[in-house]
Amino acid sequence: MPKQGPSRASVFPTTDWTMVGRAGKRGGAGHAQALNQLLVRYLPALKAHLTRHMGIPPDQADDLLQAFVTNKVLEHDLISRADHAKGRFRTFLLTSLHRFVIGVARAEGAKKRCPSQGRFVDPEKTLPLLESAPPSADALDLEWGRAVLTECLRRMEAECEKKKRQVLWAVFNDRILSPALEGSEPLPYEELVRRYGFQSPMQVAAVIAAGKRLFRQKLYDVIAEYARSQTEIEEEIQDFQRIFGSTGNQTRSDSRT
Amino acid sequence: MASTRDLSRASVESLGLLMNIASAGQHLWRPQEAGAVLRHLLDASLQPLLAAGHAPNVPRLMNAAARLGLRTIRDLLHHPSPPVELLRASKQFAKACIDHSDNPVPKEVAFMLYYASIVAARLRCNCRITSLPDTTLSEGLHWALRQTWLDDETRALIAAGLENFTGQTV
């Protein structure tokens, strides 16, 4: 299984369905690399889905994903059956994983009389949950959105560092990011002026607005790497806003900046 | 500083707030910061008023300001005989801020500068630089005086303007 972690150069390296096509052609040029990139991109969200939304402990989720990749993705060429006309690739993966976990849970149930054998899932807890409800695309989308935002912020910070715009990143962090993530108060205006030496409110406004613009640009950039059109980018953002319960003008009581 | 890797534990509400950043029309300012922003604006250089393109013959105005020792917007508003063109530029700058969707200063602060510029032109230059009817202007000045975050110096200017324009005293 590919290494999972946030320190990669890019989690969203190229257009999604192009990569899916290459990953689905066993023996084709770039097959192994495309498959590896796809797994790097999607497995963290799938794992989060298993742990957060299906209640499977993290170490067992890793084992399940390992088995899913080995049995379904590698041995049964799962990726070659993905069809972009039928919807999002991540929904296809989620549905496949859901079926796989049901199969594993049933097999574990059949092995109940052999307690010495290790279990991927607890069939008594997991099977009723899995069989009573279809896989929740929203739950996976939530994890996917989390990954997209993480990547977006990583790129924004990296660009600020590279272009020596550390003040922009710091102000964005002090006024917007920390309040949103930690529920803290935005850095008070007077402290902002003192800390960064702003000469006028217009200068402060310009830096805050530039930070927001850069964040928006990075968000679009990240989504554009797997969406196929401007319309799909807009739809993806709308979907994230729906899933995160944001409306486009909602703020945490007093977190307007 | 928040780490960009903290999102794995971020709540759905937090993610929603971050997504909102991607939406247009977000406020840059917090309502309780109006007083601090006004003080900062008054102590800012005159340059932004002139650089915004609302004043004709900027070099001449800058020279006039320099001769009178006007460095800041506060200096301009409280000088006994400021150049009226600079007060017009100040009013136009404030108006542009009011109309600007991203609000380079909070709207209420921009309104305050707008009214203060009009009043200063009337009191110090005996010049009316607005086409607002007196009743509308009076309402605006009353609004300004109701703002608790208004500094004493500007409050005194606005009060004097209200008396001059309407004969009303505060």
Helix/strand/coil (H/E/C) assignment for every residue in chain B: CCCHHHHHHCCHHHHHHHHHHCCCCCCCCCHHHHHHHHHHHHCCECHHHHHCCCCCCHHHHHHHHHHCCCCEHHHHHHCCCCCHHHHHHHHHHHHHHHHCCCCCCCHHHHHHHHHHHHHHHHHHHCCCCCCCCHHHHHHHHHHHHHCCCCCHHHHHHHHHHHHHHHCCCC
Tell me if B34 sits within 8 A of B106, measured CB to CB: yes
Q: What is the mean pLDDT of residues B89-101?
A: 89
Cβ A246–B17 below 8 Å, yes or no? yes
- pLDDT recorded at residue A19: 73
Domain ranges, residue A65: 17-135
> Cα–chain-centroid distance for residue A81?
23
- Nearest beta carbon to residue A219 from set B5, B22, B40: B22
- pLDDT recorded at residue A250: 41
B12 touches chain A (CB under 8 A): yes
Write down the mean pLDDT value for chain A.
80
B137 touches chain A (CB under 8 A): no
* pLDDT at position B60 over 60: yes
Choice between A195 and A81, residue whose per-residue pLDDT is larger: A195
Residue B36 phi, psi dihedral angles, 5° rounding:
-65, -40
Does residue A12 fall inside a structural domain?
Answer: no
Q: How far is A90 from chain B (nearest CA, A)?
A: 19
- pLDDT recorded at residue B142: 97
SS (H, E, C) B23-60: CCCCCCCCHHHHHHHHHHHHCCECHHHHHCCCCCCHHH
Does residue A9 fall inside a structural domain?
Answer: no
Domain match, A96 and A176 both? no
Could you give the number of structural domains in chain A?
Answer: 2
B17 touches chain A (CB under 8 A): yes
Cβ B17–A251 below 8 Å, yes or no? yes
- Nearest beta carbon to residue A257 from set B13, B30, B105: B30
- Tell me which chain B residues have a C-beta less than 8 angstroms from the C-beta of A141: none
Cβ contacts from A onto B, under 8 A: 149
Does residue A148 fall inside a structural domain?
Answer: yes
Choice between B149 and A101, residue whose per-residue pLDDT is larger: B149
Cβ B37–A255 below 8 Å, yes or no? no
Q: Which long-range contacts (CB under 8 A, 24 or more apart) does B101-104 make?
A: B101/B24, B101/B25, B102/A205, B102/A209, B102/B28, B103/A205, B103/B27, B103/B28, B103/B29, B104/A201, B104/A202, B104/A205, B104/A206
- Tell me which chain A residues have a C-beta less than 8 angstroms from the C-beta of B51: none
Domain match, A77 and A56 both? yes
List pLDDT tens digits, range A121-167.
666 666 666 666 666 667 788 888 988 999 999 999 999 999 999 99
Does residue A72 fall inside a structural domain?
Answer: yes
Confidence of residue B69 (pLDDT cuts 50, 70, 90): very high
- Nearest beta carbon to residue B2 from set A182, A200, A246: A182
Give the residue from A214, A24, A208, A199 showing the smallest Cα distance to B47: A199
Domain end (from A135, A166, A201): A135
Environment class of residue B126 by beta-carbon count within 10 Å: exposed (0-12), middle (13-18) or buried (19+)? exposed
Domain match, A163 and A118 both? no
* pLDDT at position B31 over 60: yes
Domain end (from A76, A103, A135): A135
B13 touches chain A (CB under 8 A): yes
- pLDDT recorded at residue A112: 62
Domain match, A48 and A91 both? yes
Structure tokens at A118: 């290790």
- pLDDT recorded at residue B2: 47
- Tell me which chain A residues have a C-beta less than 8 angstroms from the C-beta of B106: 201
Domain match, A78 and A175 both? no
Choice between A122 and B74, residue whose per-residue pLDDT is larger: B74
Q: How far is A89 from chain B (nearest CA, A)?
A: 22
Does residue A48 fall inside a structural domain?
Answer: yes
Lowest mean pLDDT segment, chosen from A125-139, A182-196, B54-68: A125-139
B168 touches chain A (CB under 8 A): no
- pLDDT recorded at residue B29: 83
- pLDDT recorded at residue A123: 63
B40 touches chain A (CB under 8 A): yes
Give the residue from B78, B100, B98, B97 showing the smallest Cα distance to B87: B78
Q: What is the mean pLDDT of residues B7-19?
A: 86
- Nearest beta carbon to residue A241 from set B8, B19, B31: B19
CB burial of A215-241 (b: ≥16 within 10 Å; e: otherwise) equals bbebbbebbbbbbeeeeebeebbebbb
B37 touches chain A (CB under 8 A): yes
- Nearest beta carbon to residue A237 from set B22, B45, B104: B22
Cβ B40–A150 below 8 Å, yes or no? no
Cα distance between residue A177 and residue A17, in whole Å: 32
Mutate to test the interface with A, among B3, B13, B20 (most CBs of A within 10 A): B20
- Nearest beta carbon to residue A205 from set B17, B23, B105: B105
Domain match, A49 and A73 both? yes
End-to-end Cα distance, chain B: 48
Does residue A70 fall inside a structural domain?
Answer: yes
Give the residue from A110, A108, A6 showing the smallest Cα distance to A63: A108
Domain match, A147 and A54 both? no
* pLDDT at position A247 over 60: no
* % of chain B surpassing 90 pLDDT: 61
Q: How far is A199 from chain B (nearest CA, A)?
A: 6
Q: Where are the alpha helices (DSSP H) in chain A?
A: 16-24, 31-48, 54, 58-68, 89-110, 123-132, 137-162, 166-172, 178-182, 189-196, 201-224, 230-243
Does residue A116 fall inside a structural domain?
Answer: yes
Tell me if B145 sits within 8 A of B155, measured CB to CB: yes
Q: Give the gyration radius of chain A's Cα atoms.
A: 22
Cα distance between residue A23 and residue A14, in whole Å: 12
Domain match, A63 and A103 both? yes
Cα distance between residue B24 and residue B65, in whole Å: 38
List pLDDT tens digits, range A107-130.
877 666 555 455 566 666 666 666
Cβ A157–B4 below 8 Å, yes or no? yes
- Tell me which chain B residues have a C-beta less than 8 angstroms from the C-beta of A191: none
Domain match, A123 and A147 both? no
Domain residue ranges in chain B: 33-166
List all residues 6 or more positions away from B9 whose beta carbon is below 8 Å from its beta carbon.
none
What is the number of other CB atoms lying within 10 angstroms of the CB of residue A255? Answer: 20
B73 touches chain A (CB under 8 A): no
Domain match, A36 and A127 both? yes
Q: Which residues pair with B72 in a beta bridge?
A: B45
List pLDDT tens digits, range A33-87.
888 888 888 888 888 888 887 788 888 899 989 999 888 888 788 888 888 777 7
How crowded is the C-beta side of A205, counted as CA atoms within 13 Å?
22
- pLDDT recorded at residue A140: 80
Domain match, A157 and A211 both? yes
Domain end (from A135, A159, A183): A135
- pLDDT recorded at residue A9: 46
- pLDDT recorded at residue A257: 33
